[in-house]
């Protein structure tokens, strides 16, 4: 059997005073490095990077990033894929994706090749989306959102290439707006 005796209650005050001094010292250290952290955050906002997503599962992650980045009533812009959209796996994927997009109230404007207008109208017209058609052959799917441009290619394997660059995204948005003016409903 062991017996314990409590120490003087005034020791608690001394203990807390010691902790308080430690906190004050930590606060001073943090205040010194805050300007450096803020500078790093500023540069991170202007960052440029590229990420590659491979396979349907990887591309799903890339598309979910669109939904996670954009807020209610924001809009993104798309030059759609072509005949690849007739594949059942993409029909299922985009049906599910657009359901989530509609729930989040994110809008989209799409420019689609006229060759696939009938199929596109049947499977891909969703609420919150505006569509125009063009005679131009669109070689890949291009999705412009925030400071990102995602290129989706369906070759041997489905792939998405996301470039994060404010300057690049702004130029693609300008290009999209010009194409939107000449595309037909």
Model pLDDT for residues 121-180, shown as the tens digit of each residue: 776 667 678 889 888 888 888 999 999 999 999 878 889 999 999 999 999 999 999 999
Using the predicted structure, report yes or no on whether residue 14 has a pLDDT greater than 90.
Answer: no
3-state class of 88 per DSSP?
Answer: helix
Four-way CATH pick for 48-182: 1.10.3720.10, 3.40.50.720, 3.40.50.300, 3.30.870.10 = 3.30.870.10
What is the arithmetic mean of pLDDT over 76-93? Answer: 81
The residue whose two tokens read 């689609």 is 112
CA distance 133 to 21: 68
Could you count the other beta carbons within 10 Å of the beta carbon of residue 94?
A: 18
CB 142 within 8 A of CB 162: no
State the Cα–Cα distance between residues 132 and 163, nearest whole angstrom.
25
Determine the length of the chain: 185
Are 104 and 70 contacting, i.e. CB atoms less than 8 angstroms apart?
A: yes
- 26 or 46: whose pLDDT is higher? 26
Contacts of 8 (CB under 8 A, 6+ apart): none
pTM here? 0.72
169 near 144, Cβ under 8 Å?
Answer: yes
The C-alpha atoms of residue 115 and residue 86 are separated, in whole angstroms, by 12
Average pLDDT over residues 85-107: 85
Mean pLDDT, all residues of the chain: 86
Percent of the chain with pLDDT over 90: 44
């Amino acid at each position: 059997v062991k017996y314990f005796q409590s120490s003087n209650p005034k020791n608690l005050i001394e203990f807390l005073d010691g902790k308080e001094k430690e906190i004050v010292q930590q606060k001073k250290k943090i205040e010194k490095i805050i300007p450096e952290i803020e500078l790093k955050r500023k540069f991170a906002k202007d960052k440029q990077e590229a990420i590659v997503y491979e396979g349907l599962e990887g591309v799903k992650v890339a598309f979910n990033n669109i939904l996670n980045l954009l807020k209610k009533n924001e809009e993104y812009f798309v030059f759609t894929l072509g005949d690849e959209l007739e594949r059942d796996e993409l029909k299922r994927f985009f049906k599910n994706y657009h359901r989530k997009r509609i729930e989040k109230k994110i809008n989209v404007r799409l420019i689609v090749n006229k060759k696939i207008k009938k199929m596109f109208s049947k499977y891909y017209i969703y609420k919150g989306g505006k569509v125009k058609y063009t005679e131009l052959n669109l070689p890949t799917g291009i999705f412009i959102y925030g400071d990102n441009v995602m290129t989706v290619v369906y070759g041997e394997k489905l792939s998405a290439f996301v470039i994060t660059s404010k300057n690049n995204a702004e130029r693609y948005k300008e290009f999209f707006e010009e194409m939107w003016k000449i595309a037909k409903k």
